[in-house]
């Protein structure tokens, strides 16, 4: 004999009739942005402060953020790696360094990226260029994913905006990402982020 059906209270609706919220449609880019912001909010980070001068040999391109700029960066990395044999004074261990900067300070519609290696800038292979950055203090962070530390919404600049000792060094209009080697340069590869700073007066 089957078990009798359970009676429902008059004001109780069957579970299948419970109102359900419509799923919110959010783009993948927006999901990624919120994920980074949530992670940055939880991060309690303190950088290493170092003094350094960068002398880079590499290739440069203006970055269009409305398109897949990741492929543009990879093309620059490959261009540099194809010409390594023509370089002298290559720092060891060799690593890829990317320099994000605004040629016109404050013009965020004109962002350039210089991909290069630390090498002797007196010997520049054909097709490449030299980039020399004067010595500066840097706040150095370790980033596990692109955009986590560097960039306007990154945890590095949030730290700098609340620092009582340091401020941004406008003499170097950008920041740098230094990868562990020449090949691991994907967005989810570890990199050191160098944000130029100076002591507050």
Locate the DSSP E strands across 14-165.
48-62, 97-101, 112-118, 129-143
Instruction: Determine the pLDDT at residue 31.
Output: 54
Give me the residue spans of the domains in the chain: 46-199
Measured distance CA(128)–CA(200) in Å, rounded: 37
Please write the tens of the pLDDT for every residue from 147-185: 788 877 789 999 999 999 999 999 999 999 999 999 999
Q: Which residues contact 176 (CB under 8 A, 6 or more apart)?
A: 54, 97, 98, 99, 100, 138, 193, 194
Say what the pTM is: 0.76
Position 172 scores a pLDDT of 94
Residues of the chain short of pLDDT 50, as ranges, are 1-2, 15-18, 29, 32-33, 36-37, 40-44
Task: Work out whether strand 48-62 and strand 129-143 pair parallel, antiparallel, or are unpaired.
Answer: antiparallel
Write down the pLDDT at residue 25. Answer: 61
What per-residue confidence (pLDDT) applies to 23? 52
Give the CA radius of gyration of the chain. Answer: 24
Confidence (pLDDT) at 17: 46
Give the count of beta carbons closer than 10 Å to the beta carbon of residue 196. 23
- Residue indicated by tokens 């740098």: 176
| pLDDT of res. 62 | 93
Residue 27, pLDDT score: 57
79: DSSP letter: H
Residue 156 pLDDT:
93
Predicted local confidence at residue 24, as pLDDT? 58
Residue 89's pLDDT is what?
92
CATH architecture of structural domain 46-199: Alpha-Beta Barrel (3.20)
């Amino acid at each position: 004999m089957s078990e009798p059906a359970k009676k429902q209270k008059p004001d109780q609706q069957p579970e299948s009739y419970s109102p359900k919220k419509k799923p919110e449609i959010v783009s993948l880019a927006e999901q990624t942005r919120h994920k980074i912001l949530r992670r940055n909010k939880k991060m309690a980070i303190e950088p290493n402060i170092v003094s350094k001068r960068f002398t880079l040999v590499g290739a440069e391109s203006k970055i269009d953020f409305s398109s897949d700029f990741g492929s543009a960066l990879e093309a620059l990395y490959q261009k540099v790696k194809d010409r390594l044999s023509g370089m002298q004074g290559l720092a060891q261990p060799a690593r890829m360094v990317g320099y994000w900067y605004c040629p016109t300070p404050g013009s965020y519609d004109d962002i350039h990226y210089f991909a290069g290696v630390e090498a002797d800038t007196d010997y520049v292979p054909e097709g490449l260029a030299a980039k020399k950055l004067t010595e500066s203090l840097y706040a150095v962070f370790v980033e596990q994913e692109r955009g986590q530390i560097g960039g306007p919404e990154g945890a590095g600049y949030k730290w700098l905006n609340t620092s009582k000792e340091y401020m941004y060094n406008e003499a170097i209009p950008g920041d740098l990402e230094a990868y562990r080697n020449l090949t691991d340069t994907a967005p989810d590869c570890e990199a050191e982020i160098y944000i130029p700073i100076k002591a507050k007066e």
